[in-house]
Chains A and B, each alone.
Chain A
Amino acid sequence: KAGVTQTPRYLIKTRGQQVTLSCSPISGHRSVSWYQQTPGQGLQFLFEYFSETQRNKGNFPGRFSGRQFSNSRSEMNVSTLELGDSALYLCASSRDSLETQYFGPGTRLLVL
């Protein structure tokens, strides 16, 4: 089985711009979760989608949004980028929320 894939792998943006990150889960997995990983904060949960519906949301501002398509692929959007948004954004998929999560390689975002 192919693993979780994320595109792009690296991204450089400037403050005020917006960005869209993509995640393709493992075939058969319907749950997709997004995390922000930074050296100081570790992994912080952004949100989880299941069958095209957002089921859970972390404590991030509304600039962070996402969606999931009927094929379970998910996108995450960050608008009005700030310097502090520079991080590794990880996507994880699982059959359901309580199942083991499998992580993608991440998208490293640098905001200048």
Chain B
Amino acid sequence: AQSVSQHNHHVILSEAASLELGCNYSYGGTVNLFWYVQYPGQHLQLLLKYFSGDPLVKGIKGFEAEFIKSKFSFNLRKPSVQWSDTAEYFCAVNGSLNKFYFGSGTKLNVKP
């Protein structure tokens, strides 16, 4: 069965620090990959997605993610975080059987 692992459950950073959130998935076939973000009190919303092509994808608010097929990873990065990036981040994979599998989420707390 497919699964998605987000190893960092809670990350605390100061403003301007660089961010990298890990996401690994277990599935050998073709996958679509997503990062969603949930700001406090708001809906889940799409940050970025990878379907095919350039493995480095850019999303909203300066976020980017790199798909490394050999490592089954899709890590999220941002060079310089802001206080407004405080949120919970979810990695998701869509592969076989058209099911979405979500990671358990990473709570990011950015100190001003």
Which residues of A are at the interface with B, using a C-beta cutoff of 8 A?
Answer: 3, 33, 35, 41-45, 48, 55-56, 58, 90, 92, 97-98, 100-106
Q: Give bound CA distance, A33 to B99, whole Å.
A: 9
Q: Are B105 and A100 in touch, CB under 8 angstroms?
A: no
Q: Specify which of A41, A42, A100 is in contact with B90 (CB 8 Å cutoff).
A: A42
Contact of B105 among A42, A92, A97, A103 (CB under 8 A): A42
Q: Are B98 and A97 in contact (CB under 8 A)?
A: yes
- In the assembled complex, the Cα of A90 lies from the Cα of B104 at a distance in Å of 15
Q: Do most interface residues of chain B lie in helix, strand or loop, or is the interface mixed?
A: strand
Q: Mark B83-94, 1 if CB is under 8 A from A, else 0.
A: 000000010001
A43 vs B101: C-alpha distance when bound (angstroms): 8
Q: How long is the Cα–Cα vector from A104 to B97 in the complex, in angstroms?
A: 23
Q: Are A48 and B101 in contact (CB under 8 A)?
A: no
Interface of A is mostly: strand
Q: Are A55 and B44 in contact (CB under 8 A)?
A: no
Pick the contact of B46: A3, A33, A43, A102 (CB < 8 A): A102
Interface bits B1-41 vs A (CB < 8 Å: 1, else 0) = 00000000000000000000000000000001010100000
A42-B43 contact given A56-B97, A100-B34, CB 8 Å threshold: no
